[in-house]
Amino acid sequence: MNRAVPKLSSLELQFQSTENSKLLAGVHAIALPLVVDETGARVASVKGFERTLEKITGISFENEIEKFGTPLVGKVGELIEILLSGDKTKLQKIFLVGVGTGTPSDLRKVGALLGRKVKGSSTHLLSACSADSESIKAHAVALALATYTWAEKSTPAPETPRFSIMGKFVKEIELAQIEIESVWIARNLIHTPANIATPAWLASQAKMLAKHPDVKVTVKSGEELAEFGGLRAVGNSSRIHSPRFVQVAYAPRGSKNWKHVVLVGKGITFDTGGVSLKRPYDTMMAMKSDMAGAAAILATVVAVSKLAPNVRVTALMMCAENAFSGSAQRPSDVIKHYGGTTVEVINTDAEGRLVLADGLAFADKNLDPDYLIDVATLTGAATLGLGRQYAAMYTRDAKLAKKLHEIGEISGDRVWHMPLVDDYEVALESDIADYNHCR
């Protein structure tokens, strides 16, 4: 099964034109910004185009807004849906949608709202909600990603919407398309059931997706993992689906002196909790997604190979199934990680940090990274403090933390800088190993 290429949405380039009738060719719905001044009156931000629409459709925007009845404030998500007869053109709907202050964050929310409006249909939506090059990419990405669906059924696939963006944003839309495709890859991998998405399958997907002349994929398994004590301790609990170490490296010719970013991703294809079995049972239902970190970093390298920045990027996917079996690790076991550090296992359901430790040690010893970042669905405890609105971010690099925070606010993938202080070291002490792993 190959669901790694986005099939449900597409973005077209659509330019402003004085021949506005051509702009509407094949369009079923149009989204216009709803901007309100301090008196509560609507401000038409694309006047010429709106006059053309009124002439073609025979409607008056002022009359339609008056029918709405409720005073407008222009907040993000405020929506007026105008239904058309469609007897003169294929145009069926016009959305007037509040865009707030027009920031990238606001336009991302608007895109998600509009995408959900046409999800599961063959609607071609033209958005004129942003004329700002800083906001248009966030808006375009949200439009498409809001239509995402994963379904492996015998019934026909759902209908697929299409999107056009008004304005000359060629570069921004090209970047948006790369981001959309990459996020779609990660989502497809994450939603694939664990009976299909095994460690070996993830390795095969990496080889298939990273077919780029500047990307090299290396897979280790079996005896090649002898030094990877954490990965083996977790993954050898499943004799059927044995662990894999997958290295996906973007390094074009002549890039030796470029900055090197190494990403380490948790790839637990299913997490029973091992001997420390998850309780209650229903907490196990979502554990096919415990490999989301590995999926995200693989999709990142795929995107980087298309963007071609002057940066080397290596993804280390630590893939294993945390099963309950006679060969599973036990609480009180001591394991030796890559590089020789020993760890006393306290709870086998805290397996993510064990596989990540091998990856981080491997990167430190062999790859000479300028930046070393791990990505993981590591612990439910993070949601107790932050909810599901923020990911917990631990780093002592304040400059990097600030940059990641700013980017996350724009993209909607928000992170919160957590404390990382020496006072915590006492909690890692063990009487029988270098460290215990989850006090």
Write the Ramachandran bin of 167: left for phi over 0, alpha for psi from -120 to 50, otherwise beta. left
User: How many Cβ atoms sit within 10 Å of the Cβ of residue 417?
Assistant: 16
Is pLDDT above 90 for 398? Answer: yes
User: Does the pTM of the predicted model rise above 0.75?
Assistant: yes
Q: Categorize the per-residue pLDDT at 8 as very low, low, confident or very high, splitting at 50, 70 and 90.
A: very low
Mean pLDDT of the chain: 90
Predicted confidence (pLDDT) per residue in 327-382, tens digit: 999 999 999 999 999 999 999 999 999 999 999 999 999 999 999 999 999 888 88
Q: What pLDDT score was predicted for residue 263? A: 98
Q: Residue 352 and residue 344: Cα distance in Å, rounded?
A: 14
Per-domain residue ranges for the chain?
10-187, 194-378
Predicted confidence (pLDDT) per residue in 20-35, tens digit: 556 677 899 999 998 8
Q: What pLDDT score was predicted for residue 68? A: 80
Question: What does the block give as tokens for 164?
Answer: 């056009």
Angle value at C-alpha 315, between 298 and 309, nearest 5 degrees: 85
Q: What pLDDT score was predicted for residue 56? A: 85
Cα dihedral: 234, 236, 240, 245 (round 10): 70
Task: Catalytic residue, from 168, 306, 336, 353: name it.
Answer: 353
Say whether domain 10-187 belongs to CATH 3.40.50.620: no
Q: Which residue bears the tokens 């890692």?
A: 428
Question: What does the block give as tokens for 376?
Answer: 């993981």
Query: Would 10-187 and 194-378 be classified into the same CATH topology?
Result: no
Q: Which residue bears the tokens 């920031």?
A: 103
Task: Say whether 278 is catalytic.
Answer: yes
Q: Which of 79-93, 160-174, 199-213, 260-274 has the lowest mean pLDDT?
A: 79-93
Task: Catalytic residue, from 278, 306, 336, 414: name it.
Answer: 278
Q: Residue 184 and residue 49: Cα distance in Å, rounded?
A: 33
The Cβ-side half-sphere exposure at 159, using a 13 Å CA radius, reads 9
Q: Which CATH architecture has domain 194-378?
A: 3-Layer(aba) Sandwich (3.40)
Task: Say whether 259 is catalytic.
Answer: no
CA distances from 29 to 24, 89, 118, 170, 273 (A): 9, 11, 9, 22, 48
> In the chain, what's the furthest Cα-to-Cα distance?
81
Rg of the Cα atoms in the chain: 25
Q: Residue 33 and residue 139: Cα distance in Å, rounded?
A: 12
